[in-house]
Chains A and B, each alone.
Chain A
């Protein structure tokens, strides 16, 4: 595994779990009954979304100089604070910063639909977009896991800013570490990322 080198992964082949999308939309197996035309609308939304989603990712691996709270890294001014992160990375010798985005296409469309008051379309596409971002993060995570396994390492679970006591303001550090502007991602003052369907996370590498 290569350290301190920013790697961009273009065209991530995500696989949306349709079951999860239905479930997020309130579908309850055995209870909900969809008229054919509603099913067709959702099906069409999947096709529409897939045309617009352009899933890309980026990651960088940093060696940990010092575990605990805060965690200090080699070759980087980023420090990771808080109990959640120190607990996650307590056995790790390195940390992976990763991000995936599904690009602006889908969000441009949902904004248009919102303006046109087509809220049901917005809702379904937005849910598909969330699941696509999650699926893309899973795909990149699996790829990193394969790299780690080949080097006889194991990875911890994925942990994102806003979880536990890792503050949302840590997005600023993620943004810098991953040069997210090169994926046309924007960070606003409230630490929200745009496109909104962008997932950032850290993972520990353990021996």
Chain B
């Protein structure tokens, strides 16, 4: 049975770590695991058999690093065919006549793609295509593109595999960085937006982080993806012990986490690094043959993304602004630059619009962008290195569009598709292939209809056609078209009516605002007046000039008035009166002397620096009393003086006290203990109940200890009875 069909009603169990099992069986080091495919295939057969015995429905071939680029690191690229074929052979032998799926493992190429790295996207594409073809020829049932740490590489891999094989594909991403990010900075939501629209049949997560964090990651992914979900984590955190690596979780603990994966809707559960057949036995006991828990469909709003930002449009979301300024029309300097294929101004416009609060950027490079696909592709790639915002690719030439889509990290937007059959039949498949979104434009071979009714008909036709090509609401946004009011006085009204009609299709809306006022004086007034009318009529986004503060003010105000989520907070944060705060930028003479460092640390409230400097003074022979008398007390006096004359405000005073506390702690530990142990002069110290301020007490304690008193420090906020008891 087709594995994708089976997943609808059946949980499938995936095997566990391959490397972990290989290492257990080897008595000598191996430069790369795939070498064993040729030299010690028996080990692989045994491992696969153990996993099948444990209950795995899917076994993964030992081909994670068997692509041409990775193998070249070991001079084995010429053996790519035999290495992959041998891995398949081992899996087929282990399977015997059983009903087990063989997944061809395909790991990353190990280098970042331009502009983040040096390798070209085409080289990566070729490497995946080559390996995928071999794996299919040799009998794989499905291909696993796994442990992806850059979403662009994952996207290219999917394209290569789908274009060169007929196998189902699973893509799984790894988020190893702090805060749940891939190595190139994508979070689970961005990955989900990107891959839920891709041609991959299964999407999920593997390796990377402690399984504890997977729960959060999957929750975020489920907001955007409804594809069958695959989850296989590491057995916790790896730790080096002697010459081996140990993982922090045992089979039972890991099985506990898999319960959470199941509840979150996983269809395939297995293990990654550090997991063994024991782990898989427990997973199979829990889930084998069970029906997966069905997940709630993600909300159908329009989506786009860059490598690290998700853009959602529609529903109750705030109005979104797509920056229009990367467009040579009416911009002489930009036009000239583009003619000489220079991108300096393009990058500058991108940065400025992002700073001004745009949510995405439209990229129109005029004639040169249409005539020169390679230049358009290069510009889009460079822009992705300049801005974190998603891009709308505004280009009439499908070849230019495809060049850019191939190297676009994330879910791009094609601007736009008209009701001309030849156009949409070319562009919808392109969008589907690259997982892009599309603007549907109310225009066809007869031009832009005057009446809303007819504009809507075009959009409706496009909407139905797009769905036939496999696109869904999340991929579609409609443009009712704004006409110049000087030429079409009724046009603006018709646009508003069209917006309302489009809403009945359940898709989001967008238009290019600036068209409204071409050729008229005071264009900003007209644009700023029309925008709130359109928003009120249901417009969800517009391509406009984010550097026009009137327009940006208008969108923020409209969002707040219409009670869009978080919009009032944004409004308040933007427009409330900001206090004039006097920022001090003193030119202090830096001194490396520990004494000065400590003094400065107290003055600036730097806790760590205070502790370090105190320690340095002690090691260089200072006694505690001198540190107190010659450094800490003068510093504290100075802080007090600053507070008295209002140079400092209260938080600085408290920070200084905290730094002082750190220094005192170290002095107490080092000096006071031995001196006081045999002292006959005893003192009880405490701050009384209700008083949490103990800095003075701590200083007294320190001084007395240094003078040889035995100090019983009860701490702060101490009840009277306790103090009396201690004293008596």
A interface residues, Cβ below 8 angstroms from B: 13, 15-19, 22, 25-36, 38-39, 41-42, 50, 117-120, 123-124
B interface residues, Cβ below 8 angstroms from A: 568-569, 572-573, 576-586, 604-605, 643, 645-655, 657-658, 661
Query: Once the chains bind, are B651 and A38 in contact (CB under 8 Å)?
Result: yes
Query: Once the chains bind, are A25 and B649 in contact (CB under 8 Å)?
Result: yes
Q: How far is the CA of A50 from the CA of B568 in the complex (A)?
A: 12
Query: Once the chains bind, are A18 and B658 in contact (CB under 8 Å)?
Result: no
Known pairs A15-B576, A50-B569; A33 contacts B584 (CB<8 A): yes
Which residues on A sit within 8 Å (CB–CB) of B578?
18
Q: Which of A34, A50, A124 has the most CB of B within 10 A?
A: A34
Taking CB as reference atom, which chain A residue is nearest B656? Answer: A120
Taking CB as reference atom, which chain B residue is nearest A27? Answer: B649
Query: Once the chains bind, are B647 and A13 in contact (CB under 8 Å)?
Result: no
Taking CB as reference atom, which chain B residue is nearest A37? Answer: B604
Q: How far is the CA of A171 from the CA of B47 in the complex (A)?
A: 71
Q: Which of A16, A17, A26 has the most CB of B within 10 A?
A: A26
Query: Once the chains bind, are B604 and A35 in contact (CB under 8 Å)?
Result: yes
Which residues on A sit within 8 Å (CB–CB) of B573?
50
Which residues on A sit within 8 Å (CB–CB) of B568?
13
Q: How far is the CA of A29 from the CA of B572 in the complex (A)?
A: 23
Known pairs A13-B569, A18-B578, A34-B582; A28 contacts B649 (CB<8 A): yes
Known pairs A33-B582, A33-B583, A33-B584; A25 contacts B651 (CB<8 A): yes
Which residues on A sit within 8 Å (CB–CB) of B581?
22, 27, 34, 39
A120 touches which of B569, B584, B645, B654 (Cβ 8 Å): B654
A-B contact pairs, 20 of them (CB 8 A): A17-B577, A18-B576, A18-B579, A19-B577, A25-B650, A26-B650, A30-B582, A31-B646, A32-B647, A32-B648, A34-B583, A38-B605, A38-B652, A50-B573, A117-B658, A118-B658, A119-B654, A119-B657, A120-B654, A120-B658
Q: How far is the CA of A120 from the CA of B605 in the complex (A)?
A: 10
Q: How far is the CA of A32 from the CA of B642 in the complex (A)?
A: 9
Taking CB as reference atom, which chain A residue is nearest B655? Answer: A120
Known pairs A13-B572, A28-B649; A22 contacts B654 (CB<8 A): no
Query: Once the chains bind, are B583 and A36 in contact (CB under 8 Å)?
Result: yes
Q: How far is the CA of A73 from the CA of B347 in the complex (A)?
A: 69
Would you give the shortest CB distance from A128 to chain B, in whole angstroms? 11
Would you give the shortest CB distance from B72 to chain A, in whole angstroms? 47
Query: Once the chains bind, are B647 and A123 in contact (CB under 8 Å)?
Result: no
Which residues on B sit within 8 Å (CB–CB) of A41?
651
Query: Once the chains bind, are B647 and A29 in contact (CB under 8 Å)?
Result: no
Known pairs A15-B572, A117-B658, A120-B605; A32 contacts B583 (CB<8 A): no
Query: Once the chains bind, are A29 and B580 in contact (CB under 8 Å)?
Result: yes
Knowing that A33-B583, A38-B652, A39-B583 touch, tell me 14 more A-B residue pairs with CB under 8 angstroms. A13-B572, A17-B577, A18-B576, A18-B579, A22-B579, A22-B581, A26-B653, A27-B581, A32-B646, A34-B582, A119-B654, A120-B651, A120-B655, A124-B651
Which residues on B sit within 8 Å (CB–CB) of A38?
605, 651-652, 655
Which residues on A sit within 8 Å (CB–CB) of B604?
35
Query: Once the chains bind, are A42 and B651 in contact (CB under 8 Å)?
Result: yes
Which 7 A-B pairs have CB atoms at the shortest separation, nearest pair first?
A33-B584, A26-B649, A31-B646, A19-B579, A26-B650, A28-B646, A13-B568
Would you give the shortest CB distance from A49 to chain B, in whole angstroms? 12
Which residues on A sit within 8 Å (CB–CB) of B645?
31
Q: How far is the CA of A118 from the CA of B655 in the complex (A)?
A: 8
Query: Once the chains bind, are B584 and A31 in contact (CB under 8 Å)?
Result: no
Which residues on A sit within 8 Å (CB–CB) of B657?
119
Known pairs A13-B568, A15-B576, A39-B581; A34 contacts B658 (CB<8 A): no
Q: How far is the CA of A30 from the CA of B582 in the complex (A)?
A: 7
Q: How far is the CA of A39 from the CA of B585 in the complex (A)?
A: 12
Query: Once the chains bind, are A33 and B647 in contact (CB under 8 Å)?
Result: yes
Taking CB as reference atom, which chain B residue is nearest A33? Answer: B584
Q: Which of B569, B578, B586, B653 has the most CB of A within 10 A?
A: B569
Which residues on A sit within 8 Å (CB–CB) of B572?
13, 15
Q: How far is the CA of A35 from the CA of B604 in the complex (A)?
A: 9
Known pairs A25-B649, A27-B649; A32 contacts B654 (CB<8 A): no
Q: How far is the CA of A30 from the CA of B653 in the complex (A)?
A: 18
Would you give the shortest CB distance from A62 to chain B, in whole angstroms? 30
Q: How far is the CA of A31 from the CA of B643 in the complex (A)?
A: 10
Query: Once the chains bind, are A35 and B584 in contact (CB under 8 Å)?
Result: yes
Which residues on B sit within 8 Å (CB–CB) of A32?
582, 646-649
Which residues on B sit within 8 Å (CB–CB) of A33?
582-584, 647
Which residues on A sit within 8 Å (CB–CB) of B651?
25, 38, 41-42, 120, 123-124
Query: Once the chains bind, are B654 and A123 in contact (CB under 8 Å)?
Result: yes
Which residues on B sit within 8 Å (CB–CB) of A26?
643, 646, 648-650, 653
Q: How far is the CA of A38 from the CA of B584 in the complex (A)?
A: 10
Q: Which of A13, A16, A117 has the most CB of B within 10 A?
A: A13
Query: Once the chains bind, are B649 and A34 in contact (CB under 8 Å)?
Result: yes
Would you give the shortest CB distance from B556 to chain A, in whole angstroms? 14
Taking CB as reference atom, which chain A residue is nearest B579? Answer: A19
Taking CB as reference atom, which chain B residue is nearest A23? Answer: B579
Q: How far is the CA of A134 from the CA of B229 in the complex (A)?
A: 48
Would you give the shortest CB distance from A8 to chain B, in whole angstroms? 17
Taking CB as reference atom, which chain A residue is nearest B572? Answer: A15
Q: How far is the CA of A39 from the CA of B581 in the complex (A)?
A: 8
Which residues on A sit within 8 Å (CB–CB) of B646?
26, 28, 31-32
Taking CB as reference atom, which chain B residue is nearest A11? Answer: B568
Q: How far is the CA of A38 from the CA of B583 in the complex (A)?
A: 9
Q: How far is the CA of A134 from the CA of B567 in the complex (A)?
A: 21
Taking CB as reference atom, which chain B residue is nearest A50? Answer: B569
Query: Once the chains bind, are A36 and B576 in contact (CB under 8 Å)?
Result: no
A123 touches which of B583, B586, B648, B650 (Cβ 8 Å): B650
Which residues on A sit within 8 Å (CB–CB) of B576?
15-18
